[in-house]
Amino acid sequence: MGPSSSSSSVAIVVASVLCLVLNATLLCSGGTTSSFVRKTEKSIDMPLDSDVFAEPPGYNAPQQVHITQGDHLGKAVIVSWITMAEPGSNTVVYWSENSNIKLEEEGSVVTYKYYNYASGYIHHCTIRHLEFDTKYYYQVGSADVRRTFWFVTPPPVGPDVPYTFGLIGDLGQTYDSNKTLTHYELNPAKGKTVLFVGDLSYADNYPNHDNVRWDTWGRFVERSAAYQPWIWTTGNHELDFAPEIGEFEPFKPFTHRYPVPFRASDSTAPFWYSIKRASAYIIVLASYSAYGKYTPQYEWLLQELPKVNRTETPWLIVLVHSPWYNSYSYHYMEGETMRVMFEPWFVIHKVDVVFAGHVHAYERSCWHCFVLMREPQERVSNIAYDIVNHKCSPVQDQDAPVYITIGDGGNIEGLANNMTQPQPSYSAYREASFGHASFDIKNRTHAYYSWHRNQDGYAVEADSMWFFNRYWNSVDESST
């Protein structure tokens, strides 16, 4: 073979390699569909006589105790509880761990009726002017049935303040729900606050939306929610809109039972609001309240995003129930209209991560491509489309959030195990298993995220990712 033939062969090989590289670049495949196969079994609600639903001893003893943040900064806590027989005491007694001085705060009490159900006496009391990074004890109930709990306030708001959030969604009250909560409690990551992405009790799955199941759920989660704040997002199972039984007020049980500090962020309704906590700015949105142009939620978010000072709270986290990027057949594209409205704003303001629920499985976005043995993880957006330009596919966008669906708490409706095929390019990892997650902020530039399936040991990470802050360290995460 002559020199010219040899040169031609080399050229052909080089051209072939370049073509393969080009094709690999242009034809990025989806990410990983987990090979883990969960045993097929029905999710079953725990019976009413389960120990996790047991009422505390004593006449009219306070029950269903839970707390949430009570202001915008983290120096207030809303304490809620229910007494079943009569109102009883409406006072919260509290003191810091290093003080013998006991303080008191008076709350308010509400009740509601839903079809043939009458609630107990629902107490809410806001404790204000707390010190940062301090352990407090608090007591609720009358003297003979007084119960004692504790919580720890967050550290002062600041850019390099480390803090760990737990993430749970679509929990319900099944045996799987109990496993999820136990795994969260025993996870060595030690979450300090739960970001709950909606669908609490699933009481609406029962005839006439049996509100007794709101009570059992409140007693079930008390073991965690009385000791650390749960930040609430509303889901479709909180709607409880049932005109067929004469119930026309949406969200009635939820709004009576689970208050949030919405007025502190100038919101006009408890379904969308924001808080600061340590180095995070958390925005809660409502998938089932109007969000079209000129609506209150739209106008609030339009004003809210520019308020975020990333030199003070670098991590911008959004909670919403219905996912915007979802490759499961269940609830497919239900979040599309909200995505079209708000995704451009999220890119402009460099939101770090969006957590959602609704789909009863796990999924994380980030574009996975395989080029020359590298596996980059690209953020994506889909904001260029304007009906006539045909630009309707997600594209790489390093200013975009990562989208994580964590609706895998364990509820009675079971797992979403029917996935679209092939796996879309924006989907990095998906798995039909129950579990929870943690988001561990290290400083202004880095955070570590991990997802934990219920079938594994408490410390096992089934999926994980290092986050580089979009404002302070807006680099391509493919280098990690």
> d(Cα 77, Cα 92) in Å, to the nearest integer?
11
User: How would you classify the pairing of strands 32-33 and 427-431?
Assistant: parallel
Q: Are strands 135-140 and 121-127 parallel, antiparallel or unpaired?
A: unpaired
Measured from the Cβ of residue 212, the count of other Cβ atoms closer than 10 Å reads 13
CB 77 within 8 A of CB 69: yes
From the CA atom positions of the chain, what is the Rg in Å? 24
Q: Tell which phi-psi region holds residue 453, choosing left (phi > 0), alpha (psi between -120 and 50) or beta.
A: beta
DSSP state of 359: S
Cβ count within 10 A of residue 292 = 10
As beta bridge partners, residue 195 has 167, 231
> Known catalytic residue: 331?
yes
Name every residue whose Cβ is closer than 8 Å to that of residue 337 and which is 6 or more positions away in sequence.
none
- For residue 320, give the nearest of 337, 296, 295, 303 by alpha carbon: 337
- Find how far residue 135's CA is from the centre of its chain: 25
Do residues 369 and 28 touch, judged by C-beta distance below 8 A?
yes
With beta carbons less than 8 A apart as the criterion, state whether 437 and 195 touch.
no
Catalytic-labelled residue, pool 331, 358, 368, 436: 331
How far is residue 132's CA from residue 314's CA, in Å, rounded to a whole number?
Answer: 19
Q: Give the number of other CB atoms < 10 A from CB of residue 183.
A: 22
Q: Which residues are catalytic?
A: 331
